[in-house]
Amino acid sequence: MDIRQVPLSDLEQLETPNPKIRSDQDIRAWQTTRSYGDYAIFLRRLNDSVVGYYLPWSSENPSNAIINTVKLLDTLDSWIDEIPPQETPQRFGNLSFRKWGARLEDKSDELLNALLPSEYSPVIPHLKPYLLTSFGSFLRMDYGTGHETSFALFLLCLVLIRFFKPKPDEERELVLRVFLRYLRLCWRLQDVYKLEPAGSHGVWGLDDFHFLGYIFGSGQLRDQKEIPVSAVLRPPLPPTNLYFMLIMRVHDVKNGPFHEHSSQLHSIAVGVPNWSKVNSGLFKMYEAEVLGKRVVVQHIPLGGLLEWSIPNTETTSTNPKASPLPALASPPVILNGASRMDTDTRTRAPWANNR
């Protein structure tokens, strides 16, 4: 499906985004908004763009928008060298991460002005909140899937204003070049500043820090018949896709048997018959365990480009199954996650009944 375009001339009429989710009812309301549908379409398009494409990735003519976004991430990475971790022992995170975050807050306007052509300058107040929440909490010194989602929404905003073009070649670059560079930056932030997982489910979670890379990586492998899902149990894995890279990252940062510290990833490897079902199941899990959890998404800015306009307040507050998402080709991007929200914090395996 196509992604709508927001004319730059409309920006002055839009509010500046800020956190709006304070309750589970707010999550259900969010699921009725056009911005939620935009994000669903965006993720499906990114996923579909990388099916059958592998790493290392190279292309002849990436757009200036792609090149400059990678340069922005390179700049943020260089700050880590300039702001080394404090040597004094610290139990939760390293205080130097707050210095890194303070520099991001101070220089965010400068960074976005360097990224965008001058005619896009009115969009900076709408992008800045997403950029600032993409790399972790500078107060709590942690990082998690809510911050990763903020970065994906940052990219979506840039598509809505057509800084990035919604076409397969550009979307492939967003995953295999921009998102991969973002992942590497976040890994370095986690390692150097000893960031804590934000809202981790522990052994019952998919990953302490990331989720979208597993979706895109299983998307790369979606039509693959020669590599079984169980291949992930036989490391080392070649860095040919984001799924394998994230599995090897888990091995780098965790000790002990894989089935004990990463039970969900292990259960996928032994119980899911093909990569297509892994891919569709992870979309469902992402909605339930990331977008459907208040503690994960409560700090994500909404409004403005990602409008917070509730079409029917009475319906959304009384009918938890209400969903505005467009009908998409099977498998759906996000399936009525409100109906799966419950008080159990353990991650469900949505593919268990989908074999």
Residue 226 domain boundaries? 8-353
Do 274 and 222 form a contact (C-beta atoms < 8 A)?
A: no
Is there a domain that residue 101 lies in? yes
| 243-285: pLDDT as tens digits | 999 999 999 999 999 999 999 999 999 999 999 999 999 999 9
Q: What is the pLDDT of residue 214?
A: 98
| Neighbouring-strand partners of residue 137 | 142
Q: What is the pLDDT of residue 201?
A: 58
For residues 215 and 145, give the distance between their C-alpha atoms in angstroms, rounded to a whole number: 13
Mean pLDDT of the region 64-79: 98
Residues in the chain: 355
Is there a domain that residue 52 lies in? yes
The pair of three-digit structure tokens given for residue 279, joined into one six-digit string:
């891919």
Is there a domain that residue 43 lies in? yes
Is there a domain that residue 1 lies in? no
Q: Nearest CA to 167 among 63, 308, 37, 317?
A: 63
| Neighbouring-strand partners of residue 196 | 142
Q: What is the pLDDT of residue 204?
A: 57
Percent of the chain as helix, strand, coil, to the nearest 5: 55, 5, 40
Is there a domain that residue 3 lies in? no
349, pLDDT greater than 50: no
For residues 47 and 49, give the distance between their C-alpha atoms in angstroms, rounded to a whole number: 5
Is there a domain that residue 90 lies in? yes
**One-character DSSP codes across 136-178:** -BTTTTEE-HHHHHHHHHHHHHHHHTTSS--SHHHHHHIIIII
Is there a domain that residue 2 lies in? no
User: Torsion over CA of 70, 73, 75 and 80, rounded to 10 degrees?
Assistant: -150
Q: What's the total number of domains in the chain?
A: 1
| % pLDDT > 70, the chain | 86
Mean pLDDT of the region 322-349: 35
